Amino acid sequence: MHRIWLYIFLVTVERNICVRSEVFTSIAHIIQLLDTEIELAKQLKIYLKNEHVRLVHIEKFLSVINNDLSQARGKEEQYFSNPINVYLFFKHLTTEWYHIKDMPSPDIRTIIDKNWLFPSLEDLTGTGISLLRLQNTYQITTSQMANGEIDLKFRSQKLTSDECYHIGRVAYINNDFYYALMWMQEALDRFDEKNKRALISRIDILDHLSNVTFQEGNIENALALTQEMLAIDPNHVPAKANKVYYESLINGQTLSKDQKKDSLASSEKIGSSSKKNFRVRKQRQNNYLELSEVYKALCRQNRAKLSHKRQAKLFCRYRHNNHPYLILRPVKEEQLFDEPTILLFHDVVSDTDIEQIKVLATPQ
Amino acid sequence: MHRIWLYIFLVTVERNICVRSEVFTSIAHIIQLLDTEIELAKQLKIYLKNEHVRLVHIEKFLSVINNDLSQARGKEEQYFSNPINVYLFFKHLTTEWYHIKDMPSPDIRTIIDKNWLFPSLEDLTGTGISLLRLQNTYQITTSQMANGEIDLKFRSQKLTSDECYHIGRVAYINNDFYYALMWMQEALDRFDEKNKRALISRIDILDHLSNVTFQEGNIENALALTQEMLAIDPNHVPAKANKVYYESLINGQTLSKDQKKDSLASSEKIGSSSKKNFRVRKQRQNNYLELSEVYKALCRQNRAKLSHKRQAKLFCRYRHNNHPYLILRPVKEEQLFDEPTILLFHDVVSDTDIEQIKVLATPQ
């Protein structure tokens, strides 16, 4: 399976970043970007060191002028009647302050030479879309993916709330509200108020979550989420507008009076506990089995599922197709599946040749 | 004495900063600058706080990308075969790096509004010249001044090597080589190699010291100081040139052969111990007693020096000069000195009036 989804992933990345003339379409290309990251880390380390030295200088200067102030305070005339104090005071406000002002502070935007190759935002979106496609094809749960459990042989790091939010955004922008909802929910579950490095707030997540919940047709939950937003920020203008809108929709629904009452009551009840997360259990509409669905189902096929009877029909053989070269050195063919036929050819290319091809394929 | 030298000091400051239309000619004016320093300290504190927060963000980002690198190193293909890792890697090099790059870092040169009044470099030079004039008039030793012991009632801080160097520079620029030498020597005595905040180096001091020593006619010591400079930095171009020049002067002097030999030998000997400081004991040429010298000598006069016979002639009285108002409220007159007559009038202006005058005099 590993080989197949990797292929899908790269094809998807390729499709999504065609604007960049397919720069990052192979792992070899991505590995090249590691050099960028190594250089960036190196430059940032130097930058931080210099900036710390600069701040220490400023701190010392600040303590010097604070010392002036604490000595002069309340006895200014006496203090300045000593001409040495006047001299020092003038010196601090002239040469020493000029020195502090003129200490070079490099622009962080220019610390890394612009000739270094960086991925673009389109590349990032491309990888996000690829992840969603993988998730859909192999029906991986969002929490499995967010825990880095796509590849059991080589797990990735766990995703943070920020990262789940971003993947949710990618789905949202591509009108894939089902996955947008899943990932926003995951982002909310992983959200940590205490994380100062977070680039997004709880309200950002709730905003998207209520939107996609509404898009998926669950107006009551959308209303509850909007109320949760208003509990955090009572002045959130879009949330206020949405609340009115959702309420009017709920009131206008052709429910029996009793049903309507229940719905509103439960919605209010949920909304009142602002810290509670909402799970939308609605499943993605999957009742259309188009060609792509057949193909995805095929990708998920597993030999273990074959009956013993069918498995007994599978066989291996040396294949030559009457080709003169292959008669001398036939190819090892293994049948993996009967309907449709899936064949695996062993040792077609030697390991040495594979390495050679990789070297030739690596961008110079 | 306190009152008199303060007057001299302010007059001197005034004379030296006339280019600035006499802004800082009174203590009241200088006190106004305290507000500038208070504001500067406030803004610097805010600046430092924000910069520290920014650097913490950058440090965290650096640890994130270092984590990428340490995980990928040596197993790049395996690492990037997990698409979550590719996604995270792209995210770090795009949105997260953009976030770090775009974090606002205010220009320290603009943290304080330019409408705040700052002294100029001319003001600083003016106070330096005033200090030298005070020192000359009252014959205060350089080390006394550098220890802040001008005003025993209200001592100032001790001066650092940097500050002594700067006063020496002021003397040097004004061709007062005698005081330039004294202050440079003081700067050298106070120089601390370990002080990272120092704006000047040992070589800067030695450079001036050898120059003024030469100007004061002591070529042997100037040569020894130049050799001390070359011991620190063998490639110091002006020092190399000066060494050749001083040596040629010494060789050309009309000394007897023996004297010449001794002189060179002792000079070499002194020069060989590069950390040793040189004291020039030559006194300032003070054999011209012009009017200003008489006046300076007068300033230094002290009642304690009067003989009992002369002291017995001094008296106090109520003075009215037949002025109708003064007959009603005569002025208290005290004779301090007989030849020339120095009188001190007591309680001419009440404390309340003094405060009122100060308020009126304070620049708005």
**Among A139, A32, A144, A7, CA closest to B89:** A32
The per-residue pLDDT for range A45-84, each reduced to its tens digit, is 999 999 999 999 999 999 999 999 999 988 888 888 888 8
Nearest to B37 among A69, A82, A86 (CB): A69
Contact (Cβ atoms closer than 8 angstroms) between residue A127 and residue B83: yes
CA gap B210, B222 in Å, rounded: 4
Q: What six digits make up the tokens of A294?
A: 């057949």
* Subunit contact B97:A36, Cβ cutoff 8 A: no
Q: What six digits make up the tokens of B244?
A: 């050749």
Mean pLDDT of B189-216: 86
Mean pLDDT of B231-245: 91
Mean pLDDT score of chain B: 80
According to DSSP, the residues that pair with B346 across neighbouring strands are: B332
Residues of B in contact with A9 (CB under 8 A): 83, 86
Strand order in the sheet with B316-319: B316-319, B331-337, B342-346
According to DSSP, the residues that pair with A332 across neighbouring strands are: A318, A346
More confident residue, A282 or B182: B182
Establish whether this prediction's ipTM goes over 0.85: no
B277: DSSP letter: -
pLDDT at A40 over 80: yes
Contact (Cβ atoms closer than 8 angstroms) between residue A167 and residue A183: yes
pLDDT at B164 over 90: yes
Place of tokens 């017995």: B312
Nearest to A37 among B65, B91, B166 (CB): B65
The per-residue pLDDT for range A74-93, each reduced to its tens digit, is 888 888 888 888 899 999 99
B91 touches chain A (CB under 8 A): yes
Q: What share of chain A is helix, strand, coil (3-state, %, to 5)?
A: 65, 5, 30
* Subunit contact B27:A109, Cβ cutoff 8 A: no
pLDDT at B76 over 90: no
Residues 252-281 of B with CB under 8 A from A: none
Nearest to B36 among A93, A100, A151 (CB): A93
Question: What confidence score (pLDDT) does residue B30 get?
Answer: 85
CB count in 10 Å sphere of residue B132: 23
According to DSSP, the residues that pair with A318 across neighbouring strands are: A332
Question: What confidence score (pLDDT) does residue A364 get?
Answer: 66
Nearest to A127 among B86, B109, B166 (CB): B86
Lowest mean pLDDT among A67-76, A208-217, B264-273: B264-273
Question: What confidence score (pLDDT) does residue A292 get?
Answer: 65
Question: Could you tell me the pLDDT band of residue B251, with boundaries at 50, 70 and 90?
Answer: confident
The per-residue pLDDT for range B292-315, each reduced to its tens digit, is 666 666 666 654 567 788 888 888
Question: What confidence score (pLDDT) does residue B314 get?
Answer: 87
Cβ burial, residue A203 (10 Å; 0-12/13-18/19+):
middle
Nearest to A86 among B51, B105, B127 (CB): B127
Mean pLDDT of A18-24: 38
State percent of chain B over pLDDT 70.
Answer: 77
Å between A204 CA and nearest CA of chain B? 16
Question: Could you tell me the pLDDT band of residue A98, with boundaries at 50, 70 and 90?
Answer: very high
Q: What six digits make up the tokens of A222?
A: 């959308």
* Subunit contact A94:B45, Cβ cutoff 8 A: no
Question: What confidence score (pLDDT) does residue B196 get?
Answer: 67
Question: Could you tell me the pLDDT band of residue A303, with boundaries at 50, 70 and 90?
Answer: very low
pLDDT at B210 over 80: yes
Disruptive mutation site among B75, B82, B166 for chain A (greatest number of A CBs within 10 Å): B82
State percent of chain A over pLDDT 90.
Answer: 35
Q: CA-nearest residue of chain B to A51?
A: B55
Q: CA-nearest residue of chain B to A79?
A: B154
B306: DSSP letter: S
Å between B234 CA and nearest CA of chain A? 28
Which residue pairs from B191-199 have beta carbons closer than 8 angstroms and sit at least 24 positions apart in sequence? B191/B161, B192/B161, B195/B160, B195/B161, B197/A57, B197/A60, B198/B160, B198/B161, B198/B162, B199/A95, B199/A96, B199/A99, B199/B162
* Greatest mean pLDDT among A128-142, B146-160, B185-199: A128-142
Question: What confidence score (pLDDT) does residue A290 get?
Answer: 57
A217: DSSP letter: T
The per-residue pLDDT for range B95-149, each reduced to its tens digit, is 899 999 999 888 888 888 888 888 888 989 999 998 999 898 888 899 989 998 8
pLDDT at B280 over 90: no
pLDDT at B219 over 80: yes
* Subunit contact A83:B134, Cβ cutoff 8 A: yes
Question: Could you tell me the pLDDT band of residue B290, with boundaries at 50, 70 and 90?
Answer: low
Omega prior to B340 cis, within 30 of 0: yes
Mean pLDDT of B18-42: 72
Q: What six digits make up the tokens of B260?
A: 């010449």
Contact (Cβ atoms closer than 8 angstroms) between residue A334 and residue A317: no
pLDDT at A2 over 50: no
CATH of domain A123-272: 1.25.40.10
Angle at A201 between CA A199 and CA A206, to 5 degrees: 135
Mean pLDDT of A203-207: 93
CA gap B248, B258 in Å, rounded: 17
A84 touches chain B (CB under 8 A): yes
CA gap B188, A164 in Å, rounded: 63
Q: Tell me the torsion sign for CA atoms B86, B90, B92, B96.
A: negative
* Subunit contact A41:B65, Cβ cutoff 8 A: yes
pLDDT at B228 over 50: yes
- Classified as helix, coil or strand, B333 is strand
Over its C-alpha atoms, chain B yields an Rg (Å, rounded) of 31
Integer angstrom CA distances of residue A257 from A166, A184, B83, B94, B226:
41, 33, 51, 53, 103
Disruptive mutation site among A54, A93, A113, A355 for chain B (greatest number of B CBs within 10 Å): A93
B143 touches chain A (CB under 8 A): no
The per-residue pLDDT for range A310-323, each reduced to its tens digit, is 888 888 999 998 99
Strand order in the sheet with A331-337: A316-319, A331-337, A342-346
- Classified as helix, coil or strand, A316 is strand
Å between A109 CA and nearest CA of chain B? 5
pLDDT at B1 over 50: no
Question: Could you tell me the pLDDT band of residue B52, with boundaries at 50, 70 and 90?
Answer: very high
Nearest to B82 among A48, A156, A166 (CB): A156
Disruptive mutation site among B86, B97, B125 for chain A (greatest number of A CBs within 10 Å): B86
Å between A200 CA and nearest CA of chain B? 12
- Classified as helix, coil or strand, B331 is strand
Alpha helices in B17-112 (DSSP H): 27-72, 76-80, 83-91, 97-101
The per-residue pLDDT for range A241-271, each reduced to its tens digit, is 999 999 998 888 644 444 444 444 444 444 4
* Greatest mean pLDDT among A185-199, B55-69, B186-200: B55-69
Q: Tell me the torsion sign for CA atoms A220, A221, A224, A229.
A: negative
- C-alpha count within 13 angstroms, C-beta hemisphere, residue A258: 0
CA gap B66, B92 in Å, rounded: 11
CA gap A203, A194 in Å, rounded: 15
Nearest to B86 among A30, A76, A197 (CB): A30
Residues of B in contact with A23 (CB under 8 A): none
The per-residue pLDDT for range A225-238, each reduced to its tens digit, is 999 999 999 999 99
* Subunit contact B167:A52, Cβ cutoff 8 A: no
Disruptive mutation site among B52, B90, B162 for chain A (greatest number of A CBs within 10 Å): B90
**Among B224, B225, B186, B219, CA closest to B207:** B225
Q: CA-nearest residue of chain B to A158?
A: B84
Question: Could you tell me the pLDDT band of residue B272, with boundaries at 50, 70 and 90?
Answer: very low
Residues of B in contact with A108 (CB under 8 A): 58, 100-101, 103, 105
* Subunit contact A89:B37, Cβ cutoff 8 A: yes
CB count in 10 Å sphere of residue B338: 12
The per-residue pLDDT for range A145-190, each reduced to its tens digit, is 999 887 767 778 889 999 999 999 999 999 899 999 999 999 999 9
* Subunit contact B154:A82, Cβ cutoff 8 A: yes
Question: Could you tell me the pLDDT band of residue B166, with boundaries at 50, 70 and 90?
Answer: very high
B62 touches chain A (CB under 8 A): yes
Question: What confidence score (pLDDT) does residue A105 get?
Answer: 86
Q: CA-nearest residue of chain A to B112?
A: A101
* Subunit contact A78:B154, Cβ cutoff 8 A: yes
A362 touches chain B (CB under 8 A): no
Residues 174-233 of B with CB under 8 A from A: 197, 199
Domains of chain A, residue spans: 25-110, 123-272, 306-359
Contact (Cβ atoms closer than 8 angstroms) between residue B350 and residue B342: no
More confident residue, A246 or A12: A246
Which residue pairs from A202-208 have beta carbons closer than 8 angstroms and sit at least 24 positions apart in sequence? A202/A232, A203/A229, A203/A232, A203/A233, A203/A236, A204/A165, A205/A161, A205/A165, A206/A232, A207/A238, A207/A239, A208/A165, A208/A168, A208/A169, A208/A172, A208/A180, A208/A184
**Among A328, A273, A339, A332, CA closest to A301:** A339
Q: How many CB pairs below 8 A link A and B? A: 239
* Subunit contact B127:A59, Cβ cutoff 8 A: no
Disruptive mutation site among A20, A52, A87 for chain B (greatest number of B CBs within 10 Å): A87
pLDDT at A281 over 60: no
Place of tokens 């190594």: A38
Mean pLDDT of B5-27: 46
Nearest to A34 among B61, B72, B197 (CB): B72
